[in-house]
Structures are given as C-alpha cells and as structure tokens.
Amino acid sequence: MNISQKIETTAAVSEQDMANAIRFLAMDAVQKANSGHPGMPMGMADAVTVLFNRFIKIDPAKPDWPDRDRFVLSAGHGSMLLYAIHHLIGYTDMPMSELAAFRQMGSKTAGHPEYGHALGIETTTGPLGQGIATAVGMAIAEQMMAARFGGALANHFTYVVAGDGCLQEGISHEAIDLAGHLKLRKLIVMWDDNRISIDGDTDLSTSMNQIARFRAAGWDAQAVDGHDPQAVAKAIARARKSRKPSLIACRTRIGKGAASMEGSHKTHGAALGDKEIAATREKLGWSYPAFFIPSDIKAAWEDVAVRGRAARQTWEIRRETSRSRKRYEELVGREIGPELARRLAKFRAEHRGKATKVATRQASQMTLEVINDVTPLTIGGSADLTGSNLTMTAQTKPIAPGDFKGRYLHYGIREHGMGAAMNGIALHGGFIPYGGTFLVFSDYARGAIRLSALMGLPVVYVLTHDSIGLGEDGPTHQPVEHLAMLRATPNLNVFRPADIIETAECWELALTEASTPSALALSRQALPMLRQGESQDNLCARGAYVLRETKGPRDVTMLATGSEVEIAVAAADRLRADRGIEAAVVSMPCWEKFEAQDEAYRNRTLGNAPRIAIEAAGRLGWDRWMGPRGSFIGMQGFGASAPAGDLYRHFGITADHVVAEAQRLCGNSKGGRRQ
Amino acid sequence: MNISQKIETTAAVSEQDMANAIRFLAMDAVQKANSGHPGMPMGMADAVTVLFNRFIKIDPAKPDWPDRDRFVLSAGHGSMLLYAIHHLIGYTDMPMSELAAFRQMGSKTAGHPEYGHALGIETTTGPLGQGIATAVGMAIAEQMMAARFGGALANHFTYVVAGDGCLQEGISHEAIDLAGHLKLRKLIVMWDDNRISIDGDTDLSTSMNQIARFRAAGWDAQAVDGHDPQAVAKAIARARKSRKPSLIACRTRIGKGAASMEGSHKTHGAALGDKEIAATREKLGWSYPAFFIPSDIKAAWEDVAVRGRAARQTWEIRRETSRSRKRYEELVGREIGPELARRLAKFRAEHRGKATKVATRQASQMTLEVINDVTPLTIGGSADLTGSNLTMTAQTKPIAPGDFKGRYLHYGIREHGMGAAMNGIALHGGFIPYGGTFLVFSDYARGAIRLSALMGLPVVYVLTHDSIGLGEDGPTHQPVEHLAMLRATPNLNVFRPADIIETAECWELALTEASTPSALALSRQALPMLRQGESQDNLCARGAYVLRETKGPRDVTMLATGSEVEIAVAAADRLRADRGIEAAVVSMPCWEKFEAQDEAYRNRTLGNAPRIAIEAAGRLGWDRWMGPRGSFIGMQGFGASAPAGDLYRHFGITADHVVAEAQRLCGNSKGGRRQ
C-alpha cells in the first residue's frame, strides 16, 4: 500500500459520516445502559476514523492473524469507540444486538475492553496507563519477530489511543522511557488531548508539556487538530516513517458533536440523556434511529476489512513460501515440545544425586539454562536486578536499540513497566516473557500483575529475595504481606519452591500453563536439597505433598513453603530423635494447585494430627490449611535490618521454636492441656 | 543568613576533607558489615557536603523543630551518607559505635534509612522513587503552613538526593508533574547523575534527557559537575531563588575517590574490600584508622549544627511572639480535641433516628463534613475521582499553584504519587491527609501504602467502589483481592463499614490513630442503616461485634463486612421467620481491631455455632474467623460487567444463598449430615 497516495481519501461517504456513526453508537449504547463513557469516543471519533480508514491493517475474518496491526485503546473507558468500530468493520461477534446490550450480563460489550471477551480486543484496558505500557511490549515483540524473520513475515504497527489519565499515571513514564530508549519506531500513540479529566479541566492538576516530555524521552512528537482529518492523516503518515516512537497529540473536544455538552467533563462518564442526544441528532443531521447505521456508511467502514483481508492474504502467501515457516509457526504457536520435560527430569536427577545446595534464585538460573537452551520462546529480563534475580543465562543476549535479535531485556528500574511490557509480549505472541525483581517490589508491578492474571497470560514473574532471609537490606526490602497479596489474586499461580528440585519442577509447571501467569518466590540464601526418593514425578504439580512421612501415625504435621521447609525438616528430625514425636513435613510450593486437588488428596496430605504452619511471612491465608488446632510460626509485623540468621532467630522462625510448639500441641492433642 | 556571602566558604578545613570523612565512614562501615552500598555516598559526598556546609538549616539538638529544612535521601541505599553526616554534625543517637554496627540487629543504622529508627531521618526510603514523591508532600505541607502562618513561622526548603533509579520509577513522573504544576519552589532535587545502575551503565535501559524532562514538567533544571563545590553551591543558591521546583543534575562518578574502582557499578552494592580501601586511604592522603575522624574535620561539620541552632533559636523567638502561636501549635501537635467525638456522636444519633440509607462513600462525605468543620487539620484530596470518592466537603477549597490556603488537593490521576505525597504531608506535620481513589486502584498506590504502614503515619486512604457492587465498569474496576492485600499489610487498619453509623465510627477511629494508617473501603451503592439500639459507644472500636443476637442459643453465626452485612441480616430474618433457625449476625468492620481484642471477647462474638462468612471478595483470610465447620460466600475469581444487582445474583452473593447454606450447616451440626 502506498501511504502517500492513500492519505487522500476519495470515498463517497465522508469520514465525517463515518465518525458520526461511532458517535451515535456510543451515545445510544451508553444511554440504553445508562452507564458508560460517551465523551471520549465522540471526541476521538474523527482521528480514529482516519486511522482505521486510511492506515490500519487488520482482518476481522482473521482476528488473530499474527502480523496484523495492534490497536490498543489505552483509555479503556472509551470502550464504545472500539465496539462501535468492531461492529462497523464486521467482527462476527459484534452484531448490533451486542452494542444494544452494552455493559449487561453476558454481553460481549463489557464496561471496559476485556481481552478474550470479544474478537479483536488486543488487551484489557481500563486501569489507566496499562494500555500504553502493554503496547510497548507488543512493539518490542514485533521488532523481535522482525529481527528473527525479516519484514516479509513481521512488519506491523502498534497504535495506541491514550487519554490524559494514561499520560499522568507513573507507568506511562516507565513505558515511554523504555520505548524511546529502544527506538520502537513502529509504536504510534495518539493522545486524546481534550484537556478534560474527571475532576474538571486538566489544569486543575497538571501543567505538563507533553510534547516536550515525549521528545525528552526520545520520541517524535507532533500536535494536530484532532478534528482535522487531513492533519491527522499527515501526522500518522509521518509517524509511520519515523525512526523513533511517535506521539501525535490530537487536540480534541470531549463529547465532540454533542448539541450543548461538547467540551464538558459531564460527557466523560455518564449518559448524555435522551434530550441531548435528540438535539445532537438534529445538530449533526443524523436522521437515523438509535442503533441504526445506513448501508453506505457501513459499506465505507467495511472497506477497512477489505483492505485488511488483502494484506493478510498477501502475507499468507509470503509465509507459505518462507523458508522460516516452520520455525515461525512454532514460535507463534508457543510450542515448547516434549524435550523440555526430558531435559528437566535429567536436570533434577542429576542434582538429586549431587544434593546440590543453592539459593532457589540460583536454582532458578540453573533451570533457566536448561529451558533457554531447549526453547527459543523464552525472553528474559529484569528490572535492573539481573545479578540479583539471576535471570540471565548463556542464551539470553541483551536486546539493544536497533538490535532485537537478543533474548534479554534490561527493563530498567521499572517494575510496573516491565510487567505491562511482558503482558504485551505475551499478547503479541511468539514469546514467553519472564522478568525479575525483588518480591517486595511486586508492589510496584501490582497493576500489571493483576492484568496478567485477569487476561490469563503465560507470563512469569521471577521474584527473588523472598523474605527476611535477604538480611541486611531491612524492612523496606523484606516482603511479609506479598505472598498473601499474590495468593489472593485469582488465576495466578504463586510458587515458593524449597530446593533446587522443587525450583525446576515449579519452572516446568509455570511454562506448562497456557492461560495462568506465575509468580516464583525465590530465596536469596542457599537452601539444601530436601527431596528424597528417586521418583521422576513432578511432585509440585499437586501443589503440596508429603515431603517427610512419619513411620507410624502422625503426632503433628508441619506445613511449610520455600526456605522454611528446611526448618520444618530439621524440627521433625529433632522431634523424632529427642522426643519420640512423629512429625510429617508437607511442602506446599503452590497453594493454588493444592486447592485444585480433590478433597481426599488434600485431607490425606494435611492429615488429622495438629498442624504447624511455618512461613517467614504474615499469617493471612494460612488458617485455611492449619485448621482450628493449628499454630502459625512466621512474621507478625515488618522485618528488620540484620544478617539473615540473626533475623530468623530474632523473629523466632527456628527449628527450636517449631520443636517447642510441636511439643505443646502434642501435649494438648493428647489431652494433657499443658499451658 | 546571607546566602550570597555564605557561598564562599572560608573554613580552614576544606570541603574536600569534609567529604572524605563521609567517604571513609561509608567505606569502613560497609566493609565491617560486609554489606551495603558505598558507591553512592562516595559519589555524592562532595555535593551533599556543600549542601550541608553552606545551606541546610537543621539543629541536631532539636531534630523535630517544625521549621527545619527537610533532607530526603531518596536513594535510600546510600544510607551511610546520611548516617555519616548525622554522626559528624552531632546527632546524639549516632555515635561512632552505631556506624560500626551498620546493618546489625538493634543498631540505629539500618540498611536503609528508617523513619523513627534514629533522629533526623525524615522518611523511610529504599523503595526507589518514594523519597522524591514523599518530598513533594513535605513541600506542599510547607507551603500550606506558610499560607496559614506566613514566612516568619513557616519557611524552609525540602532537599532531595535522588538517583537514577528514583527518576526511572513511574512514581517520579507523578511526583514531578504535581510539583511542577503546584510550583513548589522550595523543593530542590539533587540528582546523582552517575550514569550507573545495578545492571551497568544507565544507557543499557534509558536515553532520557532528564533536564528536558524536568523542564517539560515546569521545573528549573541545571546541570553541574557534582565534584565542583563552587558549581554545586551556585546551583543550589540559584535553585533557592527560583519560582519553580528545581532539579540540579550533579554529574558524578560512583565510588568517587576509590583507588581503582571509581566509576564502576561494582562500588554500588558491595564492600570494596580491605585492599581497595587501604589503597584509597593512600590515594586520598587519609592517614586515619577506620571509624576515626580528626577533630578539626569533626569541628567543621559541627559548624552546621551551630548555624542550625542559631536559626532555630531565632525562629523560636518569632514563634513565641507570634499571635498565631496557639493555632500553630495545635496544628503541629495534631490535636483534634474532644469536640469531634461529641459532634460525631450527635451525627450518629441523628442518623440512627432517621435510619439514613446512603452509600458508605456518601456517608463518608457526610461524616467528613462534620470532621472538617471541627478541625482544620484534615487535608482532603482525590486521584481525579472527587465526585466518585466524595472526598470534598464545604470546608475543603482546592489548593492551586500559588494558592495554598485551601484544604483540598487535586492529586491528578496519580494514585502512587498521592499516597507518597500524603506520607510527606503527614511526616511534615501540621496536617492529617486523606485521599481517595477506587479500592481496585490501591494497586497503583501499594508502594506508598506500605510505607504509610511501615512508618506508622496517620494517613487515611478513602477507597470507594469497594466490590462488584460498583457494577458495570467490570472486572478491571472490581476489587476482589484488595481487602486481603490490605489486611495482610502489618500496621494498617482496614475498615469496611456496613452503614452510615459504622462509617462515622470508622472515621473517628481512623482519626484517633497516631501511628497507624487507615484504609476505608466504601460502597458505591446505597446501604440501609442496620445499627439497632441507642448505645453511644463506638462499636467498631472492637473491630467486630454482634449486630443481631439470637433469642436463644445460636444455630448459626454470620460474619460479614460492609455491603454484605445487609445480606446477612436479611438472611437471618428469613431464617428465623421461615425456618425457625436462629442466626446471629456479626459485623466485622475492622479485622485488625478485632484481632487485638482478648480471646474471651473474640470467642463470645464468634460463638460456637457454625459460621458463614459473607464478603464480596476472595476467601483468603476468612478461614481465621470461619473456623473448621464454616462456609464462605463470596468471590472465587474476577468480577464481570453488569448492573450491581445482576452481579450479586450471578455470583451467588445473596440472602437466598446464605439461607440455603445456613440450612445445610445447621443440618450438619445437628448431626443430620444432609448433603
């Protein structure tokens, strides 16, 4: 397609008409739902119509065509903009009836665009700033695919529509800094510069010169009248030729076209009202009823799909004739193959034999050496803690500006941006991203972690330094509530392996998940190998299992995860040797997977004896497993700054304490009721 | 003090000597601990020496003097910089023995500066970016005090030392945008521009032009050689005269002075080694042993305290003669007085009488009308959701650039920045900040909320739209894991009131806490008044209480919070009327306060009957209260987009479901074991 020619549209139906179709669908749907956000779809209708009508490369008949352009509505509250367009260009699951069911139970048209909920939604948006930061990941993935397969197979743009909120959120800074650094030239952000936020004019809270800001970050930045189609088209054309990511500030009026409310923050988040909508129909000469689009306007919109189909078919011919086809499809299909399981079984057997004692963060790196050797899918990275997270392996050469052949991203000190970029890489396809930070700084990435889980993306968070065991850095760096926070998040597997064997098993499980992200909580400190027996089974797959069984009936059962399993085992050994108390030890590397087991397995594993839970974190959540007679040994408050061993002693997370508690419990359970 | 004269230092001891004192104390302490970060203290020693030697206004003898300058070490890993200075200028709790106990159990010299842990530490830092964002709050508070009391009582600077990490984190964007907008002219940030981060050179991950970036945000920005004292002094002097906040980019070499490692990222986070330190002593002509400072250099540093004492004493005379003294001291003392309790008791009685049915977010606003009328301490705000959070009252006129008389901050779409700014306002003193966002977006503010709790600051988070009850906005906006996340955080009171009476009680409790922050989870939807009886007691003070007792023995006990208490009450009524089952209802607005009650009260409240917990959130944590025979009715996964009533039915959080579950449990407990 020759862009410079395409800029002059010659269709009989004007882009004004096409944009008005969006406006009325948005107004009518929000009115019917009596809930939603008409202001943004109306304000950006003109600019987005130009983008779709003249540039965008998507095929509604093949919504998952890998080389399609990505369109990200970062200002997700304007979801009716997206749904209206998807209806107009002919996504099969977006008939008019869906628009009329906007925001109702069971409809495709959720309040905010939900990935997987309807065709063509590239990512879930709504939490502000996530879209633009996720798009950075998509644009990275596109460049990585292009570096591997060339422009014939990988050559698309990532377009973003962002609002003031997106650009005020901190995550936008992390995203644009990274994008500018990496020179993501095919990332184009259209900013809905309407100078309105919920509280009123944006000058209530910001004086930012966004053009200067983006230029400072290494972007091209242009400002246009967002209601001037020719100006918007020229800006997009220029942005597509730039060697840098591009911002196009589209000066707009929120609620553009509304009879009396245009420009008012009142159009942002509420229905306009029947009267205003009727007056707007009058003003814009739109004589059609609600939820009706005249056939010529519909046809004009469908031309977008026609152009997209042609592009897709041409691309398919290129793919079919490509010598890289097989390799390409393996990546896009995210197939790891059976080799990984074999290699990891061998890895585990080898280290069982050697009883390797390493920190689980180091065990993770050793496992990654195997994984990254077996598959080219994995893309590593860290938020500037590479040497601490141990996320880099021999196979993962860094990605650098202009060089996307590598497999490692220096995300910078940007946990939130890293999480969102990983979401974008996973959404784009072709890669499985993992990225590291300290467990405590999962706080900073919470917004993105939640979206990984909500979207069901195969993203792996490598969270090292997972307790007071990190030692001297003190309470600001010592997580105590973070395991609970992560475990509370639906559809997130939280793994806390106890030794090198469990670490390898948990990594294997993480990579097996197609629609559940994983968080690996890993120790800074060295941990002995605890696994006994020669079983090749991945015992972590059941979430919890009996690591040490008793000889006779259990007097007590100890539940522990990660670095505290060692303490439980030591206590169990001493209880048997010194007191004749039989203590089983249950390692619980993944509560979510244990929860998914049948009740019989869970009961068998937990047993009927009194239980002691041991975890160097807060208690919240443990009562589920401890039962009514149980005890918890862990953290009551924040940590402290001292060497790790001193801290464990100071907070009483020791085999001594476990032994004493077990004696107390056994006394009680045997009826003695000792105090 | 005449600054322009003071820029030329005339002391016999050179600033080079003074800076080297910092360098060696940092090297020696990190070496002894074999843990810590010498690179930054060495790199910034020259610039920070100039700041302290020529400008800063603090008095170690009165560390909490309200009008002192605030110094914030945002790059908190460089804690030895702070501890060294505090020793040198004579803080009484920082003798040399504390430096020698760096990072050891029980010492004052924690790995990162901990507020409250040693005198003169203005805020806890370490999580990057928090310091600069907290400093914004301090600078806001200073301007608010100045607007109320004039420059004679309130006139100080807030200085920040920030590293590359601080400026890469997203929170820095929120902070500098807000600071630039508000023209916080007395905020001065010295950036340690050493071009090194943990992974290596900063050009691995950023190409940001920080000078241009800060100017885009409305800041003055200067770049100087951070090892040229005269240049640094001139820049600080200029910054102090600016009408805008100021960035001073101090170009430095990390580990400056080190014999062979200067400029290397290896000096960042590990001891240099005895050999390197010995060579550095040689190179810098520092012939003193470890942990020894010659008296003339110590005396030069102590001059800082002499200057500070004089300034403080002059200020005290001004305060003593000020006609505003009483009002000033009330604010600084954070005294609300007994009037609030009386007014709120009246408020509760009035609404009990009227059985007012409102959303708890609205009840919160109505309560705030009383609170803000009684005390001038409270400073409201919202992250651009004023009309949704209902955080503004008649008394809270907005603060605007150049006008700090108001009591309301339009924080912008910046939850993280808001949280940190509130921390800064609370740390500064004079005010009690509260700020609103949606509960789900507490995610974005996690880093700051954790620091509120860790520092023990009286900050109130107003978190509305607290469940699927918000309706159509869908799963991105519907919290399910957030109550657990907040409850897991030590030293944070999480309140979820059920009606207007509980809302007023919870607000009163929040304002009573001197060293525990509060999170109020509030409904979007209207809730009936449920409280019965005429008691004036604040029943929420016990965290949980029996809202509805049974006539005879309990068959079942329902535990619920917030909007689900209504469901529990409805189910209890139906169980009694239709089935003859006696169900007690326990409202649990604050788990933390309930946990703090004695066991007898807890047992009495929870009772011995089977329990059903009802909360429109995830289960994690509830097993603690439900006990082994309990049931949980709530959310299993993420929410959906639909009207609130439809969602409650869809997810089975209904009186019908509770009734059915109660019947099942009662059957079981009576031995029937019905399935």
SS3 A413: coil
CB distance from A412 to chain B under 8 Å?
Answer: yes
Q: How close is the nearest chain A Cα to the Cα of B647, in Å?
A: 8
Interface test with A, best of B128, B171, B450, B476 (most A CBs within 10 A): B476
Burial of B353 (0-12, 13-18, 19+ CB in 10 A): exposed
Q: Do B410 and A484 touch (CB under 8 A)?
A: no
Which of A15, A114, A276, A415 is an active site residue? A415
Is the model's pLDDT at B674 over the cut of 70? no
Size of interface A-B (CB pairs under 8 A): 354
The reported pLDDT for the residue numbered B535 is: 82
d(Cα B356, Cα A121) in Å, to the nearest integer? 43
Residues in chain B closer than 8 A to A635 (CB atoms): 490
Which of B98, B122, B276, B415 is an active site residue? B415
Query: pLDDT, tens digit, for every residue of B592-603?
Result: 999 999 999 999
- Choose the closest CB to B628 out of A105, A385, A627: A627
Residues in chain B closer than 8 A to A213 (CB atoms): 213, 216-217
CB distance from A627 to chain B under 8 Å?
Answer: yes
Q: Looking at chain A, which residues constitute the CATH 3.40.50.970 domain(s)?
A: 24-318, 338-528
CB distance from A600 to chain B under 8 Å?
Answer: no
Q: Mean per-residue pLDDT for B176-182? A: 98
Task: Tell whether A562 is in a known binding site.
Answer: no
The reported pLDDT for the residue numbered B178 is: 98
pLDDT along chain A (675 residues), means of 10: 43 91 98 97 98 98 97 98 98 98 97 98 98 98 98 97 98 98 98 94 96 98 98 98 98 97 94 97 97 97 97 97 95 93 96 96 98 98 98 98 97 98 98 98 98 98 98 98 98 98 98 96 98 90 98 96 98 96 98 98 97 98 94 98 98 98 79 33
d(Cα B122, Cα B135) in Å, to the nearest integer? 9
**Alpha-carbon distance values, A127 to A93, B164, B553 (Å):** 25, 27, 48
Residues in chain B closer than 8 A to A124 (CB atoms): 476
Residue B629: count other Cβ atoms within 10 Å of its Cβ. Answer: 12
Query: pLDDT, tens digit, for every residue of B557-596?
Result: 999 999 999 999 999 999 999 999 999 999 999 999 999 9
Q: Mean per-residue pLDDT for B517-540? A: 95
Q: Looking at chain A, which residues constitute the CATH 3.40.50.920 domain(s)?
A: 540-671
Task: Tell whether A103 is in a known binding site.
Answer: no
- Choose the closest CB to A385 out of B106, B198, B650: B198
CATH code of the region B338-528: 3.40.50.970
Kindly state the helix (H) or strand (E) to which residue A190 belongs, with its residue range: strand A187-193
Query: pLDDT, tens digit, for every residue of B409-418?
Result: 999 999 999 9
Q: How close is the nearest chain A Cα to the Cα of B346, in Å?
A: 32
CB distance from B417 to chain A under 8 Å?
Answer: yes
CB distance from A125 to chain B under 8 Å?
Answer: yes
Is residue B383 within 8 A of residue B413, CB to CB? The reply is yes
Instruction: Give the residues across from B613 on adjacent strands.
Output: B559, B632
CB distance from A245 to chain B under 8 Å?
Answer: no
d(Cα A101, Cα A33) in Å, to the nearest integer? 7
Q: How close is the nearest chain B Cα to the Cα of A164, in Å?
A: 8
d(Cα A69, Cα A91) in Å, to the nearest integer? 15
Q: Do A414 and B169 touch (CB under 8 A)?
A: yes
Tokens encoding A448: 């993105």
d(Cα B161, Cα B72) in Å, to the nearest integer? 6
CB distance from B621 to chain A under 8 Å?
Answer: yes
Instruction: Give the residues across from A526 on adjacent strands.
Output: A359
Residues in chain A closer than 8 A to B454 (CB atoms): 475-476, 638
Q: What is the DSSP letter of B196?
A: E
- Choose the closest CB to A481 out of B385, B474, B490: B490
Is residue B413 within 8 A of residue B442, CB to CB? The reply is no
Residues 304-363 of B with CB under 8 A from A: none
Give the percent of chain B with pLDDT over 90: 95
Interface test with A, best of B202, B442, B443, B492 (most A CBs within 10 A): B443
For CA atoms B265, B266, B268, B269, the dihedral sign is: positive
d(Cα B118, Cα B111) in Å, to the nearest integer? 12
Q: How many CA atoms lie within 13 A of A347 on its CB side?
A: 26
Residues in chain A closer than 8 A to B632 (CB atoms): none
Backbone angles phi, psi at A550, to 5 degrees: -85, 165
- Choose the closest CB to B216 out of A33, A213, A481: A213
Q: Mean per-residue pLDDT for B175-202? A: 96
Strands (E), A239-387: 246-251, 358-359, 378-382
The residue type of B566 is E
Please name the residues in contact with B283: beta carbons below 8 A apart, sequence gap of 6 or more: B257, B259
Kindly state the helix (H) or strand (E) to which residue B381 belongs, with its residue range: strand B378-382
For CA atoms B343, B347, B352, B358, the dihedral sign is: negative
Residues in chain A closer than 8 A to B627 (CB atoms): 628
Residues in chain B closer than 8 A to A650 (CB atoms): 105
DSSP letters spanning A206-273: ----HHHHHHHTT-EEEEEETT-HHHHHHHHHHHHH-SS-EEEEEE--TTTT-TTTTT-GGGTSS---
For CA atoms A511, A513, A517, A520, the dihedral sign is: negative
The reported pLDDT for the residue numbered A416 is: 98
Which residue in this structure is represented by tokens 């289960």? B619
Residue A335: count other Cβ atoms within 10 Å of its Cβ. Answer: 10
Q: Which value does ipTM take for this structure?
A: 0.97
A591-617 in b/e form (b: 16+ CB < 10 A) is bbbbeebeeeebeebbbebbbbbbbbb
CB distance from A49 to chain B under 8 Å?
Answer: no
d(Cα A602, Cα A604) in Å, to the nearest integer? 5
Residues in chain B closer than 8 A to A646 (CB atoms): 104-105
Is the model's pLDDT at B377 over the cut of 90? yes
Residues 487-506 of A with CB under 8 A from B: 487-491
**Alpha-carbon distance values, A417 to A247, A340, A449, A598 (Å):** 18, 30, 11, 38
Pairing label, strands A200-201, A196-197: antiparallel
d(Cα A260, Cα A254) in Å, to the nearest integer? 12
Q: Give, in words, the CATH class of A540-671.
A: alpha beta
The residue type of B668 is N
Burial of A24 (0-12, 13-18, 19+ CB in 10 A): buried
Query: pLDDT, tens digit, for every residue of B624-673?
Result: 999 988 999 999 999 999 999 999 999 999 999 999 999 999 984 443 33
d(Cα A311, Cα A263) in Å, to the nearest integer? 38
Q: How close is the nearest chain A Cα to the Cα of B277, in Å?
A: 21
CATH number of B24-318, picked from 3.40.50.970, 3.50.50.60, 3.30.1280.10, 3.40.50.720: 3.40.50.970
- Choose the closest CB to A481 out of B211, B489, B637: B489
Q: Do A170 and B416 touch (CB under 8 A)?
A: yes
In the sheet that holds A583-587, the strands lie side by side as: A545-548, A583-587, A556-560, A611-614, A631-633
d(Cα B524, Cα A60) in Å, to the nearest integer? 38
d(Cα A173, Cα A442) in Å, to the nearest integer? 18
Q: State yes or no: is A369 an active-site residue.
A: no
Tell me the pLDDT of chain B averaged across its residues.
96
CB distance from B76 to chain A under 8 Å?
Answer: yes
DSSP letters spanning B463-508: EES-SGGG-TT-TTT--SSHHHHHHHSTT-EEE--SSHHHHHHHHH
**Alpha-carbon distance values, B394 to A205, B140, B511 (Å):** 20, 21, 19
d(Cα B60, Cα B301) in Å, to the nearest integer? 12
